[in-house]
Structure 1
Amino acid sequence: MISKLLQHIVDTDTATLPSGDTNAVSVRPGGRTSTHTTVVTHFELARTLERANRRFASFLQAEMTRRGVQEIGPAHAMLLLTIGNDELSVGQLMDRGPYGGTNLSYYLKQLGECGYIERIPLARDRRTARIRLSEKARQLCSDLTEVAAKYHRLVAGDPENMRNMEVAFETLDRLERAWATAAIFGAPGER
């Protein structure tokens, strides 16, 4: 049942947007015979990313609830997955994820209180510490990674879909870098 539902989601084309948008690029989904043309803008991409992020957070919350994890939420789980098997400083965590200093400190405090992370003070400066996962957190990350892999196999089950996911990732990575550069230096032509 879940497999059929996921396949339906993967195969369903998105709605057509008005063609008057001057910032739009017309794209025909690869490999499908469709009479619809999807119009993609930066705003549509940002909205889709936001929806996908919320859906993924809901997915994580549901999986954590199934495992009896009630004391932390999806944002905490993503932070644990970001740490992974590494031992990181707070600065390194900020570089790896979308965390602001205040939010990150708050999340780390909660994760420490709930026994998901260990704080290892540095010998030369006990105020500075490295963060690593506890065994409890490693088990949760392992469980979440395992179930996510099952969904990944359903969505990217063949080489063509896998390549489409790689292209999507590469495109989103380029957009993220372009938006970060524009935020710092301004839009092209304004510099």
Structure 2
Amino acid sequence: MKDSYLEAIKLIERLHRQFLEVVKTELDRNGIEDINNVQALILFNIGSDELTVGELTNRGYYLGSNVSYNVRKMVENGYLIQERSPHDRRSIRVRLSDKGLALCKNIAAMFERHAKDLEKGISSTKALESASEAYRVLERYWADMLDFRGRSSLLGTG
């Protein structure tokens, strides 16, 4: 089990890096230089929603430590519109601008191309669903570990 677990962790990390490279290649192919791959994925995940910066993190739309920096860069480059919430003036909400929506459509088209390519025999829906279920099991396991921080059972001491 340990070897399989460690292999899964390595694959998750490697797949994530490769996927970010795929998104970067898509941006480069379209001559888009004013946004990076992580920021493009944040935009895609926001879609038509209007969210606070905290919600971006809580919903898992952002992987990284400096979401405020990325939001600021996307606002500066015209991909996001940032406004104070009318209900809570301390809260800042973001939504996609027309430029952001256009990029979001571009990324959606990329995903559509990928899905069509995968359907041509590279993979099956069932195989991807099985992989996703395995990832959800790990996600729940790790989330449970974090919910019980500090307990000795996490350290294997009983």
TM-score, normalised relative to structure 1: 0.72
> In structure 2, what residue type is equivalent to 1:165?
L
Secondary structure in 1 matching 2:2: coil
Secondary structure in 2 matching 1:126: coil
What displacement does 1:23 show? 2.0
1:83 maps onto 2:62 in alignment: no
**Rg bigger for which structure?**
1
What displacement does 1:131 show? 1.0
RMSD: 2.1
Q: Which runs of 5+ in 2 are unaligned?
A: none
Secondary structure in 2 matching 1:115: coil
Q: Deviations over 1:22-54 (max 9, x none)?
A: 524xxxxxxxxxxxxxxxx22111111111111
1:94 maps onto 2:51 in alignment: no
Higher relative contact order (CA 8 A, sep 6+): 2
Secondary structure in 2 matching 1:125: coil
1:166 maps onto 2:136 in alignment: no
Alignment correspondent of 2:15: 52
Change (3 A) 1:175 1:156: farther
Distance 2:21 2:8 in 1: 20
1:23 maps onto 2:2 in alignment: yes
Alignment correspondent of 1:182: 145
Q: Deviations over 1:41-89 (max 9, x none)?
A: 2211111111111111111111111212111111111111121111111
| Higher percent of residues as helix | 2
TM-score, normalised relative to structure 2: 0.85
Is the contact between residue 156 and residue 165 of structure 1 (CA under 8 Å) also seen in structure 2? no
Alignment correspondent of 1:146: 109
Alignment correspondent of 1:7: none
1:130 maps onto 2:78 in alignment: no
1:109 to 61, 64, 72: 72
Structure 1 segments of 4+ aligned residues over 3 angstroms from their partners: 186-191
> In structure 2, what residue type is equivalent to 1:23?
K
Q: Deviations over 1:133-176 (max 9, x none)?
A: 11111111111111221112222446x71111011111101111
Distance 1:180 1:72 in 2: 31
Distance 1:126 1:69 in 2: 34
> In structure 2, what residue type is equivalent to 1:135?
D
What displacement does 1:187 show? 3.4
> In structure 1, what residue type is equivalent to 2:29?
R
Distance 2:27 2:126 in 1: 30
Report the number of matched residues. 152
Secondary structure in 2 matching 1:169: helix
